[in-house]
Amino acid sequence: MRNYHIWTIGCQMNQAESERLSALLDAWGLRPTNIPAEADIILLNSCVVRQSAQDRVVGKLISLKELKPKRPEALLAVTGCLVDSNTSQLHQRFPQVDFFFKPGDFDQFQAWARKHNLANGVKEIPLPSGPTCFVPIIQGCDNFCSYCIVPYRRGRQHSRPLSDILQEVSQLAAAGTKEVTLLGQNVNAYGQDLLPPTDLAELLTELNRIEGLKRIRFLTNHPRDMSPRIISAVAELDKVCEHLNLPIQAGDDDILAAMRRGYSAAEYRCLVSAIRQAIPGVSLSTDIIVGFPGESQEQFQRSYDLLQELRFDTVHVAVYSPRPGTLAARKLKDNIPSFMKKPRQQLIEKLQEHIAHEINAALVGKTVEILVEDHSRGRWYGRTRTNKLVFFEDVGQWQGLLAQVKIEKSGPWWLLGKLEANPENPQ
Protein backbone atom coordinates (compact mmCIF):
# COMPACT_ATOMS: atom_id res chain seq x y z
CA MET A 1 0.00 0.00 0.00
CA ARG A 2 1.24 3.49 -0.85
CA ASN A 3 1.38 6.40 1.61
CA TYR A 4 0.76 10.12 1.34
CA HIS A 5 1.80 13.05 3.50
CA ILE A 6 0.09 16.48 3.44
CA TRP A 7 1.64 19.57 5.01
CA THR A 8 -0.60 22.65 5.28
CA ILE A 9 -0.17 26.19 6.51
CA GLY A 10 -2.25 29.34 6.13
CA CYS A 11 -5.94 30.13 6.19
CA GLN A 12 -9.01 27.92 6.63
CA MET A 13 -9.37 27.79 2.83
CA ASN A 14 -6.04 25.94 2.64
CA GLN A 15 -7.18 23.64 5.45
CA ALA A 16 -10.43 22.92 3.62
CA GLU A 17 -8.63 22.22 0.34
CA SER A 18 -6.15 19.90 2.08
CA GLU A 19 -9.05 18.04 3.73
CA ARG A 20 -10.56 17.43 0.31
CA LEU A 21 -7.25 16.34 -1.25
CA SER A 22 -6.75 13.96 1.65
CA ALA A 23 -10.25 12.49 1.15
CA LEU A 24 -9.46 11.97 -2.55
CA LEU A 25 -6.17 10.21 -1.80
CA ASP A 26 -7.95 8.01 0.77
CA ALA A 27 -10.52 7.10 -1.90
CA TRP A 28 -7.65 6.11 -4.23
CA GLY A 29 -6.51 3.65 -1.56
CA LEU A 30 -3.48 5.57 -0.26
CA ARG A 31 -2.74 5.75 3.45
CA PRO A 32 -1.90 8.97 5.37
CA THR A 33 1.45 9.20 7.14
CA ASN A 34 2.94 11.87 9.41
CA ILE A 35 6.44 10.97 8.26
CA PRO A 36 7.44 12.60 4.94
CA ALA A 37 10.30 10.10 4.46
CA GLU A 38 7.73 7.27 4.34
CA ALA A 39 5.43 8.91 1.81
CA ASP A 40 5.12 7.99 -1.87
CA ILE A 41 3.52 11.37 -2.52
CA ILE A 42 4.07 14.54 -0.51
CA LEU A 43 1.61 17.40 -0.93
CA LEU A 44 2.56 20.81 0.32
CA ASN A 45 -0.25 23.38 0.67
CA SER A 46 1.50 26.73 0.89
CA CYS A 47 0.76 30.28 2.10
CA VAL A 48 2.61 33.45 1.09
CA VAL A 49 0.27 36.07 2.57
CA ARG A 50 3.16 37.21 4.78
CA GLN A 51 6.91 36.77 4.36
CA SER A 52 7.04 34.70 7.58
CA ALA A 53 4.66 32.11 6.06
CA GLN A 54 6.63 32.08 2.81
CA ASP A 55 9.87 31.50 4.76
CA ARG A 56 8.32 28.44 6.42
CA VAL A 57 7.24 27.07 3.03
CA VAL A 58 10.71 27.58 1.56
CA GLY A 59 12.26 25.97 4.68
CA LYS A 60 10.02 22.94 4.20
CA LEU A 61 10.93 22.73 0.51
CA ILE A 62 14.64 22.80 1.39
CA SER A 63 14.20 19.97 3.89
CA LEU A 64 12.30 17.94 1.27
CA LYS A 65 15.10 18.54 -1.25
CA GLU A 66 17.42 16.60 1.05
CA LEU A 67 14.95 13.72 1.03
CA LYS A 68 14.75 13.44 -2.75
CA PRO A 69 18.13 11.66 -3.41
CA LYS A 70 17.20 9.03 -0.81
CA ARG A 71 13.74 8.39 -2.33
CA PRO A 72 13.88 9.57 -5.97
CA GLU A 73 10.63 7.73 -6.79
CA ALA A 74 8.63 9.74 -4.20
CA LEU A 75 6.56 12.53 -5.77
CA LEU A 76 6.35 16.10 -4.49
CA ALA A 77 3.41 18.37 -5.45
CA VAL A 78 2.90 21.96 -4.30
CA THR A 79 -0.33 23.98 -4.23
CA GLY A 80 -1.59 27.06 -2.33
CA CYS A 81 -0.69 30.71 -2.81
CA LEU A 82 3.00 30.09 -3.60
CA VAL A 83 1.84 28.92 -7.03
CA ASP A 84 1.54 31.75 -9.53
CA SER A 85 1.04 31.51 -13.28
CA ASN A 86 4.79 31.31 -13.96
CA THR A 87 5.33 27.69 -12.95
CA SER A 88 8.48 27.36 -15.10
CA GLN A 89 10.17 29.93 -12.86
CA LEU A 90 8.98 27.97 -9.81
CA HIS A 91 10.38 24.74 -11.30
CA GLN A 92 13.73 26.47 -11.80
CA ARG A 93 13.78 27.72 -8.22
CA PHE A 94 12.55 24.46 -6.69
CA PRO A 95 13.73 21.61 -8.96
CA GLN A 96 12.84 19.07 -6.27
CA VAL A 97 9.11 19.73 -6.95
CA ASP A 98 7.47 17.44 -9.52
CA PHE A 99 4.23 19.38 -9.91
CA PHE A 100 2.77 22.79 -9.06
CA PHE A 101 -0.99 23.33 -9.22
CA LYS A 102 -3.14 26.38 -8.53
CA PRO A 103 -5.09 26.50 -5.24
CA GLY A 104 -8.36 24.61 -5.59
CA ASP A 105 -7.56 23.24 -9.06
CA PHE A 106 -8.40 19.63 -8.25
CA ASP A 107 -8.94 18.73 -11.95
CA GLN A 108 -5.32 19.60 -12.74
CA PHE A 109 -4.16 17.58 -9.74
CA GLN A 110 -6.27 14.57 -10.76
CA ALA A 111 -4.95 14.63 -14.35
CA TRP A 112 -1.35 14.66 -13.06
CA ALA A 113 -2.06 11.94 -10.47
CA ARG A 114 -3.58 9.71 -13.17
CA LYS A 115 -0.41 10.06 -15.27
CA HIS A 116 1.59 8.84 -12.28
CA ASN A 117 -0.75 5.93 -11.56
CA LEU A 118 -1.80 7.34 -8.22
CA ALA A 119 -5.49 7.54 -9.07
CA ASN A 120 -8.02 4.77 -9.42
CA GLY A 121 -11.48 5.27 -11.01
CA VAL A 122 -12.71 7.68 -8.31
CA LYS A 123 -13.08 11.17 -9.84
CA GLU A 124 -15.59 12.83 -7.55
CA ILE A 125 -13.93 14.32 -4.49
CA PRO A 126 -15.42 12.63 -1.42
CA LEU A 127 -16.94 15.05 1.09
CA PRO A 128 -15.24 15.57 4.44
CA SER A 129 -16.92 14.18 7.55
CA GLY A 130 -17.27 15.14 11.21
CA PRO A 131 -19.49 17.32 13.40
CA THR A 132 -18.05 20.51 11.85
CA CYS A 133 -16.99 20.95 8.21
CA PHE A 134 -15.59 23.71 6.04
CA VAL A 135 -17.44 24.41 2.79
CA PRO A 136 -15.67 26.66 0.25
CA ILE A 137 -18.29 28.80 -1.51
CA ILE A 138 -16.25 31.47 -3.32
CA GLN A 139 -12.71 31.51 -4.70
CA GLY A 140 -10.48 34.53 -5.26
CA CYS A 141 -11.07 38.20 -4.56
CA ASP A 142 -11.71 41.33 -6.63
CA ASN A 143 -10.82 43.87 -3.95
CA PHE A 144 -7.10 44.32 -4.53
CA CYS A 145 -6.32 45.83 -1.13
CA SER A 146 -2.95 47.45 -1.72
CA TYR A 147 -0.99 45.12 0.59
CA CYS A 148 -2.59 41.78 -0.29
CA ILE A 149 -1.27 39.09 -2.61
CA VAL A 150 -4.45 36.97 -2.59
CA PRO A 151 -6.09 38.34 -5.79
CA TYR A 152 -2.81 37.73 -7.66
CA ARG A 153 -2.58 34.11 -6.52
CA ARG A 154 -6.19 32.98 -6.12
CA GLY A 155 -7.52 35.01 -9.03
CA ARG A 156 -10.74 36.97 -9.47
CA GLN A 157 -13.92 36.35 -7.50
CA HIS A 158 -15.64 33.15 -8.56
CA SER A 159 -18.73 31.89 -6.69
CA ARG A 160 -19.93 28.29 -6.68
CA PRO A 161 -23.51 27.87 -7.89
CA LEU A 162 -26.00 28.04 -5.04
CA SER A 163 -27.55 24.67 -5.99
CA ASP A 164 -24.13 22.92 -5.73
CA ILE A 165 -23.57 24.29 -2.23
CA LEU A 166 -27.09 23.32 -1.13
CA GLN A 167 -26.59 19.82 -2.41
CA GLU A 168 -23.23 19.48 -0.71
CA VAL A 169 -24.41 20.80 2.67
CA SER A 170 -27.53 18.56 2.51
CA GLN A 171 -25.26 15.55 1.95
CA LEU A 172 -22.99 16.61 4.82
CA ALA A 173 -25.97 17.05 7.16
CA ALA A 174 -27.41 13.67 6.14
CA ALA A 175 -24.04 12.11 7.00
CA GLY A 176 -24.08 13.68 10.49
CA THR A 177 -22.38 17.07 10.13
CA LYS A 178 -23.98 19.58 12.52
CA GLU A 179 -22.09 22.75 11.68
CA VAL A 180 -20.74 24.19 8.44
CA THR A 181 -18.39 27.14 8.02
CA LEU A 182 -18.78 28.72 4.60
CA LEU A 183 -15.39 29.83 3.33
CA GLY A 184 -13.96 32.40 0.95
CA GLN A 185 -11.47 35.26 0.99
CA ASN A 186 -14.40 37.62 0.62
CA VAL A 187 -17.33 35.41 1.48
CA ASN A 188 -19.86 38.21 1.92
CA ALA A 189 -19.45 39.10 -1.77
CA TYR A 190 -20.85 35.64 -2.58
CA GLY A 191 -23.10 35.50 -5.63
CA GLN A 192 -22.31 38.92 -7.15
CA ASP A 193 -20.55 37.23 -10.07
CA LEU A 194 -23.23 34.58 -10.72
CA LEU A 195 -25.87 34.80 -13.45
CA PRO A 196 -28.48 35.64 -12.33
CA PRO A 197 -26.73 37.24 -9.34
CA THR A 198 -27.61 36.14 -5.84
CA ASP A 199 -26.15 36.94 -2.42
CA LEU A 200 -24.98 35.44 0.86
CA ALA A 201 -28.31 36.28 2.56
CA GLU A 202 -30.15 34.13 0.00
CA LEU A 203 -27.68 31.28 0.45
CA LEU A 204 -27.98 31.45 4.26
CA THR A 205 -31.79 31.40 3.99
CA GLU A 206 -31.70 28.27 1.85
CA LEU A 207 -29.10 26.53 4.04
CA ASN A 208 -31.11 27.33 7.16
CA ARG A 209 -33.86 24.96 5.90
CA ILE A 210 -31.59 21.90 5.80
CA GLU A 211 -32.76 19.22 8.20
CA GLY A 212 -30.21 17.98 10.73
CA LEU A 213 -27.92 20.97 10.30
CA LYS A 214 -27.70 22.98 13.54
CA ARG A 215 -25.23 25.78 12.91
CA ILE A 216 -23.93 27.91 10.04
CA ARG A 217 -20.90 30.25 10.12
CA PHE A 218 -19.05 32.13 7.40
CA LEU A 219 -15.66 33.84 6.95
CA THR A 220 -13.69 35.91 5.93
CA ASN A 221 -15.55 39.11 5.10
CA HIS A 222 -14.91 42.58 3.79
CA PRO A 223 -16.70 45.31 5.81
CA ARG A 224 -17.83 47.06 2.60
CA ASP A 225 -19.73 43.94 1.51
CA MET A 226 -21.52 43.43 4.86
CA SER A 227 -24.95 44.43 3.53
CA PRO A 228 -28.06 45.07 5.66
CA ARG A 229 -29.55 41.93 4.05
CA ILE A 230 -26.69 39.80 5.40
CA ILE A 231 -26.95 41.38 8.86
CA SER A 232 -30.73 40.68 8.90
CA ALA A 233 -30.13 37.10 7.78
CA VAL A 234 -27.72 36.55 10.69
CA ALA A 235 -30.21 38.18 13.08
CA GLU A 236 -33.25 36.24 11.86
CA LEU A 237 -32.10 32.78 10.81
CA ASP A 238 -31.95 30.47 13.82
CA LYS A 239 -29.05 28.32 12.56
CA VAL A 240 -26.75 31.20 11.59
CA CYS A 241 -24.42 31.79 14.54
CA GLU A 242 -24.04 35.14 16.28
CA HIS A 243 -20.40 35.42 15.37
CA LEU A 244 -19.03 37.67 12.65
CA ASN A 245 -15.56 38.19 11.30
CA LEU A 246 -15.10 41.81 10.26
CA PRO A 247 -11.48 42.69 9.43
CA ILE A 248 -10.76 46.35 10.14
CA GLN A 249 -7.02 46.38 9.18
CA ALA A 250 -6.38 49.95 10.51
CA GLY A 251 -8.04 52.63 12.61
CA ASP A 252 -6.63 55.65 10.76
CA ASP A 253 -8.38 57.03 7.68
CA ASP A 254 -5.21 57.88 5.72
CA ILE A 255 -3.82 54.39 6.30
CA LEU A 256 -7.18 52.84 5.37
CA ALA A 257 -7.14 54.87 2.14
CA ALA A 258 -3.55 53.83 1.38
CA MET A 259 -4.64 50.22 2.00
CA ARG A 260 -7.51 50.79 -0.49
CA ARG A 261 -10.03 49.38 1.95
CA GLY A 262 -12.91 51.56 0.75
CA TYR A 263 -14.24 52.66 4.18
CA SER A 264 -13.32 55.11 6.91
CA ALA A 265 -12.97 54.41 10.63
CA ALA A 266 -16.27 56.25 11.23
CA GLU A 267 -18.07 54.08 8.64
CA TYR A 268 -16.63 50.96 10.25
CA ARG A 269 -17.82 52.15 13.70
CA CYS A 270 -21.35 52.67 12.31
CA LEU A 271 -21.31 49.18 10.83
CA VAL A 272 -20.30 47.62 14.16
CA SER A 273 -22.99 49.56 15.94
CA ALA A 274 -25.66 48.47 13.39
CA ILE A 275 -24.53 44.84 13.76
CA ARG A 276 -24.59 44.99 17.56
CA GLN A 277 -28.03 46.56 17.52
CA ALA A 278 -29.46 43.99 15.11
CA ILE A 279 -27.80 40.93 16.69
CA PRO A 280 -27.74 41.19 20.49
CA GLY A 281 -24.85 39.24 22.05
CA VAL A 282 -22.99 38.96 18.73
CA SER A 283 -19.30 38.19 19.03
CA LEU A 284 -16.96 39.94 16.66
CA SER A 285 -13.48 39.07 15.46
CA THR A 286 -11.21 41.31 13.46
CA ASP A 287 -7.82 41.46 11.71
CA ILE A 288 -5.44 44.39 11.95
CA ILE A 289 -2.09 45.19 10.36
CA VAL A 290 0.56 47.25 12.19
CA GLY A 291 3.57 48.97 10.62
CA PHE A 292 1.97 49.67 7.24
CA PRO A 293 4.26 51.99 5.19
CA GLY A 294 4.32 55.46 6.75
CA GLU A 295 2.27 54.49 9.85
CA SER A 296 3.17 57.15 12.42
CA GLN A 297 2.92 56.67 16.18
CA GLU A 298 -0.32 58.74 16.14
CA GLN A 299 -1.79 56.63 13.36
CA PHE A 300 -0.91 53.44 15.21
CA GLN A 301 -2.52 54.95 18.33
CA ARG A 302 -5.77 55.41 16.36
CA SER A 303 -5.81 51.68 15.58
CA TYR A 304 -5.11 50.90 19.24
CA ASP A 305 -7.81 53.29 20.47
CA LEU A 306 -10.41 51.91 18.08
CA LEU A 307 -9.75 48.35 19.26
CA GLN A 308 -10.05 49.54 22.86
CA GLU A 309 -13.32 51.29 22.05
CA LEU A 310 -14.95 48.50 20.03
CA ARG A 311 -13.84 45.63 22.29
CA PHE A 312 -13.67 42.68 19.89
CA ASP A 313 -13.84 39.10 21.11
CA THR A 314 -10.84 38.13 19.00
CA VAL A 315 -8.17 40.17 17.20
CA HIS A 316 -5.61 38.76 14.75
CA VAL A 317 -2.76 41.23 14.59
CA ALA A 318 -0.23 41.01 11.76
CA VAL A 319 2.96 42.92 11.13
CA TYR A 320 2.97 44.48 7.64
CA SER A 321 4.98 42.45 5.20
CA PRO A 322 5.58 43.74 1.64
CA ARG A 323 4.28 41.24 -0.92
CA PRO A 324 5.84 41.27 -4.38
CA GLY A 325 3.59 42.61 -7.14
CA THR A 326 1.11 44.34 -4.81
CA LEU A 327 0.44 48.05 -5.12
CA ALA A 328 1.88 48.80 -1.66
CA ALA A 329 5.11 46.90 -2.40
CA ARG A 330 5.50 48.70 -5.74
CA LYS A 331 4.66 52.23 -4.62
CA LEU A 332 5.27 52.53 -0.87
CA LYS A 333 8.51 52.14 1.01
CA ASP A 334 8.40 49.59 3.86
CA ASN A 335 9.81 52.29 6.13
CA ILE A 336 8.68 51.16 9.59
CA PRO A 337 11.56 49.09 10.95
CA SER A 338 10.97 45.79 12.66
CA PHE A 339 12.06 47.22 16.03
CA MET A 340 9.01 49.54 15.81
CA LYS A 341 6.55 47.09 14.23
CA LYS A 342 7.06 44.34 16.82
CA PRO A 343 6.31 46.48 19.93
CA ARG A 344 3.16 47.76 18.17
CA GLN A 345 2.06 44.18 17.60
CA GLN A 346 2.81 43.29 21.23
CA LEU A 347 0.89 46.32 22.55
CA ILE A 348 -2.23 45.22 20.64
CA GLU A 349 -1.83 41.61 21.70
CA LYS A 350 -1.60 42.71 25.33
CA LEU A 351 -4.63 44.98 25.02
CA GLN A 352 -6.64 42.19 23.41
CA GLU A 353 -5.64 39.64 26.03
CA HIS A 354 -7.00 41.97 28.68
CA ILE A 355 -10.27 42.63 26.77
CA ALA A 356 -10.83 38.94 25.95
CA HIS A 357 -10.18 38.04 29.58
CA GLU A 358 -12.85 40.50 30.73
CA ILE A 359 -15.38 39.36 28.11
CA ASN A 360 -14.87 35.69 28.98
CA ALA A 361 -14.88 36.29 32.77
CA ALA A 362 -18.41 37.69 32.41
CA LEU A 363 -19.53 34.21 31.29
CA VAL A 364 -18.50 32.53 34.57
CA GLY A 365 -21.65 31.22 36.29
CA LYS A 366 -23.63 31.22 33.01
CA THR A 367 -24.75 28.14 31.07
CA VAL A 368 -23.77 27.99 27.41
CA GLU A 369 -24.58 25.56 24.62
CA ILE A 370 -21.63 24.01 22.84
CA LEU A 371 -21.36 21.71 19.86
CA VAL A 372 -18.88 19.07 21.01
CA GLU A 373 -16.13 18.54 18.43
CA ASP A 374 -13.74 16.05 20.04
CA HIS A 375 -11.75 15.33 23.18
CA SER A 376 -8.17 16.05 24.11
CA ARG A 377 -6.20 15.12 27.24
CA GLY A 378 -9.22 13.83 29.11
CA ARG A 379 -11.53 16.72 28.27
CA TRP A 380 -14.27 17.20 25.72
CA TYR A 381 -14.21 20.49 23.84
CA GLY A 382 -16.46 22.44 21.54
CA ARG A 383 -17.56 25.94 20.66
CA THR A 384 -20.45 28.16 21.62
CA ARG A 385 -22.48 29.79 18.88
CA THR A 386 -20.33 32.86 19.57
CA ASN A 387 -17.22 30.78 18.80
CA LYS A 388 -15.85 30.51 22.35
CA LEU A 389 -13.78 27.41 23.03
CA VAL A 390 -15.20 25.48 26.01
CA PHE A 391 -13.79 22.41 27.79
CA PHE A 392 -15.59 20.02 30.15
CA GLU A 393 -14.97 16.60 31.66
CA ASP A 394 -17.35 13.68 31.31
CA VAL A 395 -17.13 9.94 30.78
CA GLY A 396 -19.98 9.87 28.20
CA GLN A 397 -19.71 9.93 24.41
CA TRP A 398 -20.29 13.52 23.34
CA GLN A 399 -18.80 13.98 19.88
CA GLY A 400 -21.26 15.74 17.56
CA LEU A 401 -23.80 16.48 20.30
CA LEU A 402 -24.98 19.78 21.73
CA ALA A 403 -24.11 20.07 25.42
CA GLN A 404 -25.19 22.61 28.04
CA VAL A 405 -22.17 23.60 30.10
CA LYS A 406 -22.08 25.82 33.19
CA ILE A 407 -18.93 27.93 33.03
CA GLU A 408 -16.73 27.77 36.13
CA LYS A 409 -13.39 29.20 34.98
CA SER A 410 -12.22 31.45 32.17
CA GLY A 411 -9.07 32.58 30.42
CA PRO A 412 -8.65 34.94 27.47
CA TRP A 413 -8.79 32.10 24.91
CA TRP A 414 -10.84 29.37 26.67
CA LEU A 415 -13.62 28.55 29.11
CA LEU A 416 -13.90 25.58 31.45
CA GLY A 417 -17.19 24.28 32.79
CA LYS A 418 -19.38 21.49 34.13
CA LEU A 419 -22.00 19.57 32.22
CA GLU A 420 -25.60 20.50 33.05
CA ALA A 421 -28.73 18.37 32.56
CA ASN A 422 -28.82 18.00 28.78
CA PRO A 423 -31.56 17.18 26.32
CA GLU A 424 -28.97 15.33 24.23
CA ASN A 425 -27.27 13.62 27.19
CA PRO A 426 -26.64 10.06 26.09
CA GLN A 427 -26.77 8.63 29.62
- Please tell me what DSSP assigns to residue 187: G
Q: What, of ligand SAM, ligand SF4, none, does residue 44 touch, CB below 5 to 8 Å by kind?
A: none
* Residues 350, 155: Cα–Cα separation, whole Å: 36
User: Does position 214 bind ligand SAM by CB under 6 A?
Assistant: no
Question: Contacting ligand SF4 (CB under 6 A), which of 145, 187, 216, 233?
Answer: 145
Q: Which residue, 157 or 249, has its beta carbon nearer to ligand SAM?
A: 249
Instruction: Indicate which of ligand SAM, ligand SF4, none lies near residue 144 (CB less than 5 to 8 Å, by partner kind).
Output: ligand SF4
Identity of the residue, 150 or 279, whose beta carbon is nearer to ligand SF4 in the bound complex: 150
CA distances in angstroms from 424 to 212, 370, 400, listed in the order given? 14, 11, 10
Cβ of residue 215: shortest distance to ligand SAM, in angstroms? 22
| Residue with smaller CB distance to ligand SAM, 278 or 327 | 327
**Cα Rg, the chain, nearest whole Å:** 22
- For ligand SF4, the closer CB: 14 or 143: 143
Cis ω for the linkage preceding 196 (within 30 of 0)? yes
Site for ligand SF4 in 364-393 (CB under 6 A): none
Between 84 and 287, CB nearer to ligand SAM: 287
Q: In what order do the strands lie in the sheet with 179-183?
A: 132-136, 179-183, 215-219
Helix (H) or strand (E) holding 167: helix 162-174
Q: How far is CA 270 from the centre of its chain?
A: 25
Site for ligand SAM in 272-331 (CB under 6 A): 287, 289, 318, 320-321, 323
Q: Name which of residues 181 to 200 contact ligand SF4 (CB under 6 A).
A: 185-186
Reduced to 3 states (helix: H, G, I; strand: E, B; else coil), residue 197 is coil
Q: What is the rounded distance in angstroms from the CA atom of residue 261 to the CA atom of residue 166?
A: 31
Q: Beginning with the edge strand found earlier in the chain, give each strand of the sheet holding 3-8 in spatial order.
A: 31-32, 3-8, 41-46, 75-80, 99-100
143 binds ligand SF4, rule: CB under 6 A? yes
Q: Does 150 bind ligand SF4 (CB under 6 A)?
A: yes
The residue type of 153 is R
46 contacts ligand SAM (rule: CB under 6 A): no
From 161, 164, 250, select the one nearest 198 (Cα to Cα).
Answer: 161
Residues that bind ligand SAM (CB under 6 A): 49-50, 147-148, 150, 185-186, 220, 222, 247, 249, 287, 289, 318, 320-321, 323
The residues binding ligand SF4 (CB under 6 A) are: 141, 143-145, 148, 150-151, 185-186, 222
